[in-house]
Amino acid sequence: DRNALPSFSEFSLEELKAATGGFSPDNIVSEHGEKAPNVVYKGRLENNRWIAVKRFNKLAWPDSRQFIEEARSVGNLRSERLANLIGCCYEGDERLLVAEFMPNETLAKHLFHWEANPMKWAMRLRVALYLAQALEYCSSKGRALYHDLNAYRVLFDQDGNPRLSCFGLMKNSRDGKSYSTNLAFTPPEYLRTGRVTPESVVFSFGTLLLDLLSGKHIPPSHALDLIRGNNYLMLMDSC
């Protein structure tokens, strides 16, 4: 079955160049385009499988052994709640991850940028449930830490179901930051220690629940002020 998810494997750089049109800018799907430190491309393998390829900054993952160990660990996970990791590439200075391609945009796009067609409550509840199930599955497999959990990490598959990107399960590399969002959304545990903990993942899950409830990206401190002032309706989306 061509649609069956393959086991984790190593790809050559030439394979991924061919799949992405030579890493063409036209195939960039990451939110910040070429300005992002680590760019994500869509691609198509010779067997016609669509993939997402994350190409890291040249300074990332200087230790290829650490990179492949992390990638293999994440690549062993298999869940219908994840955009699963199916392979990697490490040739020379290149470090690339290969995952299932999710064709229907991010939660951020659907929630924050489609004012004329707001997300229905039934779908918001499904996102919350599926995301909780994804995090629970990862935790049960010894991968409780998730880096920079936010609405851009939730992707929609070909059937319109939400999935959690596997890329955030990789440990922080030398060049990156565990939290790319501004300080208003950064977990207090991370601000104190500079390390991602299970508690910081729970905090970030809470900020996503606020996003789903309000339809806006509201800083948790502001949401708390609204709750203390009994201004609950200001938190609620009117859709």
At 183-200, the pLDDT tens digits run 677 888 888 887 888 888
Residue count (the chain): 239
Specify the pLDDT at position 219: 78
Segment holding 44, helix H or strand E: strand 39-44
Q: Are 174 and 61 in contact (CB under 8 A)?
A: yes
- The bridge status of strand 50-55 relative to strand 39-44 is antiparallel
Least confident segment among 42-51, 87-96, 208-217: 208-217
> pLDDT category, 175, cuts 50, 70, 90?
very low
Q: What is the pLDDT of residues 19-31, one digit of tens each?
A: 999 999 999 998 6
Q: Spell out the domains of the chain, with CATH numbers in brackets.
A: 9-100 (3.30.200.20), 107-235 (1.10.510.10)
pLDDT at 185: 76
Distances (CA, A) of 212 to 89, 132, 150, 208: 35, 13, 11, 6
Asked if residue 215 lies in contact with residue 237, where contact means CB atoms within 8 angstroms, the answer is yes
- Give pLDDT, residue 195: 82
Torsion-angle region of 196 (φ positive above 0: left; ψ -120 to 50: alpha; else: beta): beta
Report the 10 Å Cβ neighbour count for 210. 18
- Write the single-letter amino acid at 46: E
| pLDDT tens by residue, 70-123 | 999 999 999 999 999 999 999 999 999 999 999 999 999 999 877 678 899 999
Q: List the one residue out of 19, 18, 56 whose CA is nearest residue 37.
A: 56
CB 174 within 8 A of CB 59: yes
Task: Please say whether the beta carbons of 40 and 29 come within 8 A.
Answer: yes
More confident residue, 61 or 133: 133
CA distance 11 to 87: 7
Count of Cβ atoms closer than 10 Å to residue 117 Cβ:
8
DSSP 3-state of 106: strand
Q: How far apart are CA 167 and CA 188, in angstroms?
A: 23
Four-residue CA torsion sign, 29, 41, 186, 125 = positive
Residue 26 appears among annotated catalytic residues: no
pTM of the entire predicted model: 0.89
Q: Which residue has the higher pLDDT, 131 or 4?
A: 131
Which of the following is catalytic: 148, 159, 175, 225? 148
What is the Cα–Cα distance from 230 to 233, expressed in whole angstroms? 8
Is the pLDDT assigned to residue 36 strictly greater than 80? no
